[in-house]
Amino acid sequence: MAIFRQYIAPLLVVLIFLMALLAVSVRIFLPEDMAAPAPIETVGQAIAPAVVAPAIGLT
What HEC string does 1-59 produce?
Answer: CHHHHHHHHHHHHHHHHHHHHHHHHHHHHCCHHHHCCCCCCCCCCCCCCCCCCCCCCCC
27: Cβ contacts below 8 Å, ≥ 6 apart: 35
Check residue 59 and give its pLDDT: 57
Write down the pTM of the prediction: 0.51
* Greater pLDDT, 2 or 37: 2
Task: Write out pLDDT tens, residues 14-57.
Answer: 999 999 999 989 888 877 767 677 788 876 655 555 566 566 76
Residue spans of the domains in the chain: they are: 2-27
| pLDDT the model gives residue 22 | 95
